């Protein structure tokens, strides 16, 4: 006998696969008419969602998966390690097991081994999220804002964080401010660039494209960007850098050329990586509440797993400017 899949249910009900997934996950934003169609199709086809909770005798695996995009240096990344630490601690407190999966577009994943999935970013592993939703696996996305109402998204407001960082430089008298971006294929880097531009615009400071240097979150890209800044006819008095790791490399590269921070150039980073406390100078930065985001993500996921109604929503977390020693007022 051919196995009934979610595609068969969608076809029978005359609705999308996403709608079937939302009904299975008890998402309240489905119209009563569509919900009734799906429930009738499920009964008629005797469909059983392909999840661990309905496959295992115990009802649940007691395991949550954390899916992180695979990239070079992932285990040297403050962001990745902090996500793993925060979610691991929260799972331990809830007596849950945590399965770490480094995801890429073609990476295989056994969805039946877990009760639910937290996706940290969606970069190249969109097919895994789509498949999880298709199979009715409870899922939550952290640190990525998706333009969809089918999954809960919990993320830091990168644009407002960047805006606050640049506004602080401006309030300290800086008018020529450069920006070293992160990898602009990521939503975080794009939003931080938007925040930089918006702060300049709101303070009537002309945007100079020569002050926007492309980085990719690596120290090497920060050093290359710094070399370009040093060669400018008019150097900026302040630099907003898209990550603390890059910011610390900028401070080192400037110092090698006899350019002191903050005496000659003020620097603001983003992340609140502890590395910023132990360099040549304590780094002013933007704190993103990764621990709180992970805890909220797990809370929402457990509600979905338990079958309680959860309104699909976007939940932004506000970052916080942390003022230390790497910015001084322009003389």
pLDDT (tens digit, 9 = 90+) per residue, 269-303?
999 999 999 888 999 999 999 999 999 999 999 99
Give percent of the chain above pLDDT 90.
Answer: 66
pLDDT band of residue 52 (cuts 50, 70, 90) is: very low
2.40.128.120, 3.40.50.300, 3.30.56.10, 3.40.50.2300: which CATH number matches 158-288?
3.40.50.2300
Q: Compute the average pLDDT of residues 145-151.
A: 82
* 52-156+290-317 and 158-288 in the same fold: yes
* DSSP, res 278: S
Q: Does domain 6-45 have CATH number 1.10.260.40?
A: yes
Give 307's pLDDT tier (boundaries 50, 70, 90): confident
73 to each of 87, 183, 269, 293, 296, how far by Cα in Å? 20, 14, 20, 23, 27
Q: Which residue in 68, 90, 92, 93 sits closest to 81, CA to CA? A: 68
Q: Residue 105: which pLDDT band, with cuts at 50, 70 and 90?
A: low
Buried b (16+ CB within 10 A) or exposed e, 48-80: ebbbbbeeeeeebbeebbbbbbeeeeeeebbbb
Looking at the chain, the whole-number percentage of residues with pLDDT higher than 70 is: 92
Domain borders along the chain are 6-45, 52-156+290-317, 158-288
> How much is the pTM?
0.79
In CATH, the number for domain 52-156+290-317 is 3.40.50.2300
How much is the average pLDDT of 9-21? Answer: 88
What average pLDDT does the chain have? 89
């Amino acid at each position: 006998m051919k196995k009934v899949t979610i595609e068969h249910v969608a076809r029978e009900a005359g609705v999308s696969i996403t709608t079937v997934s939302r009904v299975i996950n008890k998402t309240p934003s489905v119209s009563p008419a569509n919900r009734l169609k799906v429930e009738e199709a499920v009964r008629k086809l005797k469909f059983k969602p392909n999840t661990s909770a309905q496959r295992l005798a115990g009802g649940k695996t007691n395991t949550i998966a954390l899916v992180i995009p695979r990239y070079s240096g992932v285990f040297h990344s403050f962001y990745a390690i902090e996500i793993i630490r925060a979610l691991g601690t929260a799972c331990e407190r809830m007596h849950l097991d945590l399965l770490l999966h480094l995801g890429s577009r073609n990476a295989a994943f056994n969805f039946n081994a877990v009760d639910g999935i937290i996706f940290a970013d969606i970069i190249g592993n969109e097919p895994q999220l789509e498949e999880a939703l298709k199979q009715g696996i409870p899922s939550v996305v952290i640190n990525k804002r998706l333009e969809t109402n089918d999954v809960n998204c919990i993320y830091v407001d990168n644009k407002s964080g960047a805006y606050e960082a640049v506004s602080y430089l401006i309030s300290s008298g800086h008018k020529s401010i450069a920006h070293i971006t992160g990898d602009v294929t990521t939503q975080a880097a794009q939003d931080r660039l938007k925040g930089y531009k918006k702060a300049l615009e709101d303070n009537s400071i002309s945007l100079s494209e020569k002050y926007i240097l492309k980085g990719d979150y690596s120290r090497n890209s920060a050093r290359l960007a710094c070399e370009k800044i040093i060669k400018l006819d008019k150097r900026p008095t302040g630099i907003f850098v898209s990550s603390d790791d890059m910011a610390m490399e900028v401070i080192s590269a400037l110092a090698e050329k006899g350019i002191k921070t903050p005496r000659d150039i003020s620097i603001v980073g983003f992340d609140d990586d502890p590395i910023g406390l132990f360099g040549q100078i304590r780094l002013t930065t933007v704190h993103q509440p990764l621990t709180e985001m992970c805890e909220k993500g797990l809370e929402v996921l457990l509600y979905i797993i338990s079958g309680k109604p959860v309104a699909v929503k976007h939940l932004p977390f506000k970052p916080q400017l942390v003022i230390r020693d790497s910015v001084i007022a322009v003389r």
